[in-house]
Structure 1
Amino acid sequence: QDTEIQRKMERELRLREGACKLLAACSRREQALEAAKSLLVCNSRVLAYMAELQRRKEAQVLRRTARRPSDAGPTDERLPCRGTVCISDLRIPLMWKDTEYFRNKGELHRCAVFCLLQLGAEIHDTPMVLVDRTLTDICFESAVLFSEAGPDFELKVELYSAGLAGGSAQGSTPRKLATRLSTSLGRSSGKRVRAAMDGAPGSPPGNGGTSPLLLPAPSVPGPKFHLLAHAVLSLAEVQDGFRTHDLAIASNEESSFWLPLYGSMCCRLAAQPRCMAAPVTSGFLRLQQPGAEAQSGARLYCVLRGTDLLCYHDPGEAEAGLEPALTIAVNKETRIRAAEREGRGQPHGMAVTNRYGGEEVTHTLLAESRAEAQRWMEAFWQHFYDMSQWKQCCDELMRIEVPPPRRPPAMLPRQGSLYHEMAIDPSDDIEAVTDILTQRAGGRVPGTPPWLSLFEEPPLHATPSGRATSPSPPARRPWGRPRTLSLDA
């Protein structure tokens, strides 16, 4: 396992080096933002792998230095099962001023944002979203899965933002300020100030220097993402439905990457322990009827899964997913005791007791041997321990969304409306519209639209003398500003 972690860390280091080279070479804003995002994600994963390796080494040292491992009780040695944690439909509301959102006044402030989700050494990132005052919520609808989570998990949600002031990825206010200071303070002093503000080691984190990731940030020109807000979710926040969680703001209004957050986020956080999603154990047990002999009961194939002990006539019914012949509830209120009988040749088993309404119902299940009975008892105790650790996640099986395959990052949307980018001369309206539609369709010539007949010339009219006359030409419009057409409608 340590070798696998080291291999992943080496891969992230190579990706980090490639992201630095790409960030220095790219000239388009979309490419620069994706490269800056990849650089931050690689740094986070490298640090997560380093922390995981350190944790494993410390655990090995503690196991070696333990004097008497037998001192720990059976409960301490028992480990809960792992599970899958899913976070989806993440929405972060924005709180714009009325003059900005409703009256559309003031300077247009744009930012590129994405979320970094970390659970242990596993880190995922969301697609990047361009945010301005036309949006009321930052939405990340795709589901993110963590398949190796324990009941003590801590899911860190971090929102990163990069300001897009002036629409340029390369120019930013701190860089312009550094240039002015370097020319004002002189050559030697100005170089030191500019190096500190451009991202040299030891510079403030807010200006791209030594970040909280504790990795030296490369001094490469381009956009830089900053932590805007963060939250930590645990088992207590798991619920089979949408829920609002507090969001800690990590920036202020003076920052170029700032966005007016409400201080909360809404998402669906679900968890599926393996004891609920997969069979815990299975085997043949004999159901003993009250007052009957031990060997007279029906021999059933039993499967312990979730909150039920499913009893089938044979394994084929279980594999085919048929309805079980008998279902015995196994939940936090169920009591199980050993039903051993002294004497040679007597079977061993267990008694499962549940309360239905005000009445207790006991099912006695007999195993074929003492070892088989011990195996079933151990499976029951482990199952009860898992349910006690995962708590509300074991009340019923929660629904987990499977995320679709990750697509390559798409280009950021256009700035402004297509209405403001088109100036079409009246004499060439239809041809210009057709050309634009052809370009947006990737070069494919669209078919003749039905509304084109409205603009075709009317047919010739016959006169009483037999001659065909054409309608008089329309009056020429006065020269003026070209008309603009909008395709947004």
Structure 2
Amino acid sequence: MSTDLLISKPVNKEYDLEQKIEVEIKMREGSARLLAAARHRAQSLEAARALLTSNERMSAYMAELQRRKKESSNKPSLPVSAARVSLSDLRIPLMWRDSDHFKNRGDYRRFAVFCLARVGTEIHDTALLCPVDRALTDVTFPDVLIFNNVPAEFEVTLEIYSHILQEDLSIASTPRRIKRSIHSSISRTVGKRLAASLRDELNSGEIGPHFELMASARLTLDDTDDNIHTHDLILNNLENKNHSLPLFGHFCCRLAAQPECVTKEACSGSIILDGQTCWARIQRFTLQAWDSRKLADEEQSPFSILPINRETLIQRSKSSSRELRISNTIEGSEKMTTIRLETADEAQKWLRQLVAHAKDHLRWRHAAETIQDVPSIESARNSFISNKRQGSLYDETPLIESVETDYAATRPTVHEIFGLTPSTSLSSCSSTSSPPSLRSRSLSTSGARKSGSATLRSHWPFSNKNHD
């Protein structure tokens, strides 16, 4: 009977995978029809994004299906601890030239941008941001992407896709009209480069917008934290440089992982703890005990909490097959706790769960030591609806920061250095205005820095996590 169960389990998994492939095939067909029938730019872009996402999911499902069919189905699979992983606060700075952003001239390009995040066969896409042009210093996505049943050895792959909006140029409304009016609107050098890109687009024969992979990144358990950190991007070299999104080479995000045993109990039941009968539960890397099950169901405070972590020693008692010994080192001294079960089988079950719980603590490392917050799907949706675009990274970031607290309260910001009011952004400065020079303002603040004898450090958000 047990052999039949082991064989049928992979078959059910393969059936579920085939069902997912069928769903994505239908989604792909629907997106292709919508793309062919679309008459507005927003419809075409959304359909192209949905089509690309469906293609990526279908490819991932088919590759996983082939991998499972090659593996032997007779091998019993051991239970592996899983977690919920969230990717949020995704922010990608852009690198425009000074004349492009501050003076609003030069680079005419506009883009439509979205991201794909994948863990194994689970792939999520972000919202489509359009248009992204020289007025924006960074691309901010409000999405909170949730991944379920993620093993400790997970790898999150983030991919940034963009499409250049040729028809968004102010000199014309369609590529063909742009091509006819190049000679009278822009310089000869830029015109040749633009005409070549438009000719490729007109002769490609592709239906609808084509999104290209701009950059990618890989994140693991080591990158998880409750705070936002900066990570490196691997930029993709395109043949047509004019289609490349001006990426800075870094991005900011919050990647959090929460093991399932934090919110779900691994085992519960009646035990005898140091001679006292109680109701116990293994959860959140602890063994919690209450006087009765009713108190546990009411979420009352337990009278005993034993840590179950990588340092915990768990073994069966030599004197009785129904007893287990749990040893912890607390404040330099060893504390031994004995629990007694009704039968030897119960003792074996609790021993197995306690040992697995301790191994999970070792496997999840810092994510088990400090519990990270992973929002639920409902709260993630509410965050997506209510979240508004943040301000510019240029406007929000102080140029310098002091380690000392007395100077931190009076450190100059971008607005103070350039003589701007809080309601004025850097992009609103005209070229004819003559604010005090950066050198004079730096000299005026040097006295405060010298008197505080504080060590200054860079405060740009593009520094690596290790430098925070």
TM-score normalised by the chain length of structure 2: 0.69
Query: Considering only CA atoms, is the larger Rg found in Structure 1 or Structure 2?
Result: 1
Once the two structures are TM-superposed, the CA of residue 404 in structure 1 deviates from its matched residue by 0.8
Once the two structures are TM-superposed, the CA of residue 31 in structure 1 deviates from its matched residue by 0.9
Give the letter for the 1:349 counterpart.
E
Q: Does 1:398 align with 2:384?
A: no
**Among residues 326, 329, 333, which one is paired with 2:311 in the alignment?**
333
**Among residues 272, 294, 298, which one is paired with 1:286 in the alignment?**
272
In structure 2, the residue corresponding to 1:89 is in which secondary structure? strand
Q: Does 1:28 align with 2:28?
A: no
Among all aligned residue pairs of Structure 1 and Structure 2, give the percentage whose two residues are the same amino acid: 36
In the alignment, which residue of structure 2 is the partner of 1:419? none
**Among residues 233, 238, 249, which one is paired with 1:247 in the alignment?**
233
Q: Does 1:363 align with 2:364?
A: no
Contact 2:107 2:134 in 1 (8 A): no
What are the equivalent positions in structure 2 for 1:345-364 lying under 5 Å apart? 348-364=322-338
What are the equivalent positions in structure 2 for 1:391-430 lying under 5 Å apart? 391-402=365-376, 403-404=380-381
In the alignment, which residue of structure 2 is the partner of 1:474? none
Please list the CA deviations of residues 53-108 of structure 1 after superposition, one character each: whole Å capped at 9, or x if unmatched: 1121122xx345x8xx9xxxxxxx64421111111101111111001011212142
What are the equivalent positions in structure 2 for 1:88-103 lying under 5 Å apart? 88-103=88-103
Contact 1:88 1:143 in 2 (8 A): yes
**Structure 1 198/258 Cα, relative in aligned 2: closer, same or farther at 3 Å?**
closer
In the alignment, which residue of structure 1 is the partner of 2:164? 163
Which runs of no fewer than 5 residues in structure 2 stay unpaired?
1-12, 181-198, 386-468
**Structure 1 254/136 Cα, relative in aligned 2: closer, same or farther at 3 Å?**
same
In structure 2, the residue corresponding to 1:301 is in which secondary structure? strand
Aligned residues: 350
Once the two structures are TM-superposed, the CA of residue 341 in structure 1 deviates from its matched residue by 1.9
Query: 2: distance between equivalents of 1:305 and 1:389?
Result: 16
Query: 2: distance between equivalents of 1:7 and 1:197?
Result: 38
What are the equivalent positions in structure 2 for 1:5-404 lying under 5 Å apart? 5-59=17-71, 62-64=72-74, 78-130=78-130, 131-167=132-168, 219-252=205-238, 254-288=240-274, 297-341=275-319, 348-402=322-376, 403-404=380-381
Contact 1:352 1:363 in 2 (8 A): yes
Query: 2: distance between equivalents of 1:286 and 1:165?
Result: 73
Give the letter for the 2:299 counterpart.
G
Give the letter for the 2:313 counterpart.
R
In structure 2, the residue corresponding to 1:15 is in which secondary structure? helix
Contact 2:81 2:151 in 1 (8 A): yes
In structure 1, the residue corresponding to 2:115 is in which secondary structure? strand
**Structure 1 101/197 Cα, relative in aligned 2: closer, same or farther at 3 Å?**
closer
Root-mean-square deviation (Å): 2.8
Please list the CA deviations of residues 4-54 of structure 1 after superposition, one character each: whole Å capped at 9, or x if unmatched: 221221221122122222212212111111111111111111101101111
TM-score normalised by the chain length of structure 1: 0.66
In structure 2, the residue corresponding to 1:360 is in which secondary structure? strand
Contact 1:80 1:385 in 2 (8 A): no
Which runs of no fewer than 5 residues in structure 1 stay unpaired?
70-76, 178-195, 200-206, 209-218, 289-296, 409-489
**Structure 1 332/391 Cα, relative in aligned 2: closer, same or farther at 3 Å?**
same
Once the two structures are TM-superposed, the CA of residue 348 in structure 1 deviates from its matched residue by 2.0
Once the two structures are TM-superposed, the CA of residue 407 in structure 1 deviates from its matched residue by 8.3
Once the two structures are TM-superposed, the CA of residue 355 in structure 1 deviates from its matched residue by 1.5
Contact 1:82 1:151 in 2 (8 A): yes
Give the letter for the 1:262 counterpart.
F
Once the two structures are TM-superposed, the CA of residue 300 in structure 1 deviates from its matched residue by 0.8
Instruction: Give the number of the structure whose residues are more often helix, by fraction.
Output: 2
Query: 1: distance between equivalents of 2:174 and 2:312?
Result: 66
Give the letter for the 1:302 counterpart.
A
Once the two structures are TM-superposed, the CA of residue 276 in structure 1 deviates from its matched residue by 2.3
